[in-house]
Amino acid sequence: MYGIFSNDSSGPRMGYKHGDTILDLAAVASLGLFDTVSIHTAVFSQPALNDFIASGKTSWQAVGQRINQLLANNEAELDVVRAQVLLAASRATMHLPVRIGDYTDFYAGIHHAENVGRLFRPDGDPLLPNYRHMPVAYHGRSSSIVVSGTPIRRPNGQQLGPDGQPVFGPSRALDFELELGLIIGKSNPLGEPIPVDAAEEYIFGITLFNDWSARDIQRWEYQPLGPFLGKNFGSSLSAWVMPFADLEPFRVAGPAQEPAPLSYLQTGKDGHFNVALDVVLQPAGGSEVVISQSNARHLYWSFAQMIAHHTVNGCNLTIGDVLATGTISGSTPNSAGSLLELSYNGKQPLALPDNRHRTFLENGDRVTLRGWAGPIDKPVQLGDVTGQITPSPEPLAR
């Protein structure tokens, strides 16, 4: 997995995560160990992955092969320079891996959409009529996407009080959302849609993504224009980006899509991935507890369909854009990807060890999303994303 790190000896640069160590790619390049690869090695010294991503898929493959060769071969080639190129991951400071252009959040988890529909609109059909016809999404805010580990401050905002009048104050329904983030690896010109069968060519890599949500703010503001201040106070992206190609062994068929979508969303290729997803909650002073276990295969729409739909009107994607999937809940209560669902909108508190309970997040709570694929004794792991809740700021004086 690729990321941007710094340490005592040098500023932000590109690294490759290998177990508990980081291969310093800028150092590898400066020692001439990438000389056999056709790439402008200045990309490894940049404070974001964008220039490396822009070098194109052939370069990603060549660099990946060379890294595998170096790591497999480390007895020979790396041994004399080990101290110069390998460092303990625990000694590095991680930075946001990409310079994010735009951020779009889909709603492709059908179980989440149904659960939220039941909670927010109890008298209607849980799915709105368009849901099975297109991967719906909203445009989010990229400026408040932070790297894993950054504290998340409880937002203040308007909520509907018990008497039906709006009140202002700290959110009392702060939540997480278990999502994957796609890092876009190739741009399309404005006006030129990306066909669904070519769409995966536009994905550089995969991250875990937590779209923190203030449900009380969200519920009061979201109609008619959708999420705004209930979402844009912060979202967390993992520090490490898994190359999309690394997911290939875990490709599976998605759920049957009934009714069949319009032809621009139809593809004969399986576009889902069997990636296990865990949500871990750690209260202040408490131990970690897994509160949900889901899987990326529960998404209704595939990554390729999301990209095809996003661009079908000619909208242009840019290298470094983040497309988040939407909350990935499974079909069972213990696989829900948000506290909104796990606590039935606060009506059934979730029991934690040590006699603790949660409806929504409390100050000091740490939420960590984990993802892995393959055999349990030798998993391929996504980069974790974690964040701890800190108290809201004092509301502004009048």
Q: In the chain, what are the helix, strand and coil shares in percent, each to the nearest 5?
A: 25, 30, 45
Verify binding: residue 177, Ca ion, rule CB under 5 A. yes
Give whichever of 210 and 302 is closer to Ca ion, judged by the CB atom.
210
User: Rounded to whole angstroms, how far apart are CA atoms 388 and 378?
Assistant: 29
Three-class DSSP category at 32 = coil
Return the residues of window 235-254 that contact Ca ion according to CB under 5 A. none
Verify binding: residue 24, Ca ion, rule CB under 5 A. no
Write the DSSP symbol of residue 272.
E
**What 3 state SS string does 212-244 have?**
CEEHHHHHHHCCCCCCCCCCCCCEEECCCEEEH
Lookup: tokens for 178: 């278990």
Q: In the complex, what is the shortest distance from the CB of residue 227 to Ca ion, in angstroms, rounded to a whole number?
A: 8
Q: In the complex, what is the shortest distance from the CB of residue 119 to Ca ion, in angstroms, rounded to a whole number?
A: 15
**What torsion do the CA atoms of 92, 96, 99, 101 make, to the nearest 10 degrees?**
170
Q: In the complex, what is the shortest distance from the CB of residue 26 to Ca ion, in angstroms, rounded to a whole number?
A: 34
DSSP letters, 147-169, are ETT--EEPPEEEEE-TTSSEEEE
Cα–Cα nearest to 282, from 182, 176, 125? 176
Catalytic residue among 40, 95, 112, 272: 112
Q: Which stretch binds Ca ion (CB under 5 A): 47-55, 175-183, 315-323, 369-377?
A: 175-183
- One symbol per residue from 89 to 128: x for binding Ca ion (CB under 5 A), - otherwise; what is it? ----------------x-----------------------
Verify binding: residue 175, Ca ion, rule CB under 5 A. no
Give whichever of 21 and 368 is closer to Ca ion, judged by the CB atom.
368
Q: In the complex, what is the shortest distance from the CB of residue 138 to Ca ion, in angstroms, rounded to a whole number?
A: 9
- One symbol per residue from 185 to 224: x for binding Ca ion (CB under 5 A), - otherwise; what is it? --------------------------x-------------
Element (H, E) at 21: strand 21-24
Q: Please confirm, yes or no, whether 309 is among the known catalytic residues.
A: no
Which of the residues are catalytic?
A: 112
The residues that touch Ca ion, with contacts defined as CB under 5 A, are 105, 177, 211
